[in-house]
Structure 1
Amino acid sequence: MSAVVTVRGRVRLAAKSRALKAPSARWGLALVVLLVLLGIAAPLLTPYSPLAQGPDALLGPGLQHPLGTDEFGRDLLTRTLHGIRLDLLVAGTAVPLGALAGVALGVLCALHPLVDVVLQRAFDVMLAFTALILGVTLAAVLGPGTAAVFWTVAGINVPLFGRITRDATRIEKDREYVLAAQALGAGRLRILVGDILPNILDALIVQAALSLSTAVFVEGAMSFVGIGITPPTPSLGALLRSGASFLDQNPAYALGPVTVVVGLVIGFNLLADGLNKGLLKR
């Protein structure tokens, strides 16, 4: 049994290594890493504070302000770089939380038929709400801000990961390694957590990459319509919303956040595509 587990582990490691060598995965990872590093290094790349107002409002791009300034004289490049940090912080915490909750509920579906029916109907209800509708609901309860965006991103991921875990578990439960573990007297929960979950990890990793892309889009959409992160806190969506009103005075106002949002979404989607080809299509 241990030899089988070792062989399967080596196969999974080889598949992950092969997936990261796919051109789309490498380009996506490189793009995401570049933007992450720009966000992390924001205080080193610009001498301005993202909240400090200046006397020169709506300046066009120049040497001192590569993207110009906003209506309060704040440097737009600085605010864009700090917006990357905030978006990635929300996505990097809300997606794993939603994934963990979804995986836990997906495992519960396999423990009892009644629990499976109840949770499947709950997933149906959750999936019926689009991200924006859920965001509006949470913003009405919690108020616009980071908390509303965070719980919206986490909430939309619970049924996604729950369904993936539940469906993959139903497929895996009749595999030889599961039957062998049952023959050795392993309990159902032990088999689910110790044997099945590691073997459905590939599908969860691909969904995580897609969910990170969606999280960036959700923050942008919620902040753009005024129910997400609110000024003066710099976020990509809030910058897009403000920039839409001043494009005639400073066309570069929205250039930075648009470029970053598109870059992050494309990067995460390319990464997910490469992982999907390397991990799932074997």
Structure 2
Amino acid sequence: MTTTLTKAAQPLARRPLHPYRAALATARGRTGLALVGLVVLAGLLAPLLSGHGPTDQSALALAGPGTPGHPLGTDDLGRDLLTRLLYGIRADLGIIAVAVPLGAVLGCLFALAAAAHPIADTVVQRTFDLILAFPGLILALAITAVLGPGRLPVIIVIALAEIPVFGRLLRTGILVQSGREYVTAARVGGTSGGRILTRHILPNAADPLVVQFAVSLTVAVFIEGAMSFLGVGVRPPEPTLGAVLSQSMPYLAQAPHFAAGPLVTVTALVLGLSLTAEALNREIRR
């Protein structure tokens, strides 16, 4: 009876947090999520946060911050900078939200094909080598030369850049897990190869992919910004962060506020994604 009461009086042990939840509960994780969430929320609420259209022009060219009706000022064509910044965030988020998952899915499919047969593995590895042989800028220029500037070339370039990254990461994970004792035991027990792959190997090989996904979102922000900065990205006058920054370059001396908005936004987004990726990586490696 005494033993029963003692056990009943003991506090229930707290269940350990899932590694991803635990990572996002750290100071790095919370800070990263807050920064990313703030930028994403600003982009999603763009129509509500601004009373102007992204292409609406006025007579107030290069007006400074605090101008009535233009909190961040205007650009060289009199367009409201806050509006263009908010809609630029929205355009960037739309691009990377399609391109990075597309690259991740295709890369993982290539890795699964490589795991199926040695010949397929050789073909896949040479395909990855071919993609990686082209520097990102050359690849962007080549695709833009064929398709012309726009959203689609940016999405294709980002997806192509991520395919070998995710493919090789998952292929390595599959090879490592395939040599573990639990896989050998499952084979000896008569478990089919497909079931071993889907129920045992892939769940244990997936953690690095989550970290890489956060890193790839950061890379995608830079790729989109670089392509728009060079004029081979989204067509003007549609705003993106890279396009607004590129447009501000001739006016840095007389209107530094022009470049401040996109620079601060890109920094916050990249820093938030980097902190989130680092928090996930630290927790997974424990």
2:60 partner amino acid: D
The Cα offsets for residues 236-261 of structure 1, whole Å up to 9 and x where unpaired, read as 01101101122233221111111111
2:71 counterpart of 1:71:
no
Task: Report the more deviating stretch, 233-242 or 180-189.
Answer: 180-189
1:36 aligns with 2:40: yes
* Match in the other structure for 1:191: 196
Q: Indicate conservation of the 8 Å contact 1:111/1:188, yes or no.
A: no
Q: Alignment RMSD, CA only?
A: 1.6
Structure 1 residue 51 corresponds to structure 2 residue 55: yes
Give the TM-score of the pair, scaled to structure 1: 0.91
Correspondence for 1:133: 138
**2:205 equivalent among 200, 203, 221:** 200
Q: Which residue, out of 170, 176, 180, partners 1:175?
A: 180
- Number of aligned residue pairs: 271
For residue 146 of structure 1, what is the aligned residue in structure 2? 151
Q: Give the letter aligned to residue 123 of structure 1.
A: F
For the residue of structure 2 that corresponds to 1:232, the secondary structure is: coil
- Between the aligned partners of 1:83 and 1:190, the Cα distance in structure 2 is 45
Deviation at 1:37, TM superposition (A): 0.6
SS at match of 1:253: helix
Shift of 1:26: 1.6
Structure-2 residue corresponding to 1:276: 281
Deviation at 1:64?
2.1
Q: What letter corresponds to residue 156 of structure 1 in structure 2?
A: A
Q: Deviations over 1:68-110 (max 9, x none)?
A: 1112211001100111111011111110010000011111111
Q: Which amino acid aligns with 1:211?
A: S
Matched, 1:88 2:88: no
Superposition pairs of residues 112-127 of structure 1, within 5 angstroms:
112-127=117-132
Equivalent residue for 2:11?
A: none
- Structure 1: any 5+ residue segments left out of the alignment? 1-9
Counterpart for residue 5 of structure 2:
none
| Max Rg structure | 2
For 2:111 and 2:230, locate their aligned partners in 1 and report how far apart those are by CA, in whole Å: 33
Amino acid at match of 2:257: A
Query: Would you say the 8 A contact 1:68–1:250 is kept in 2?
Result: no
**1:26 aligned partner:** 30
| Aligned counterparts, 1:206-245, within 5 A | 206-245=211-250
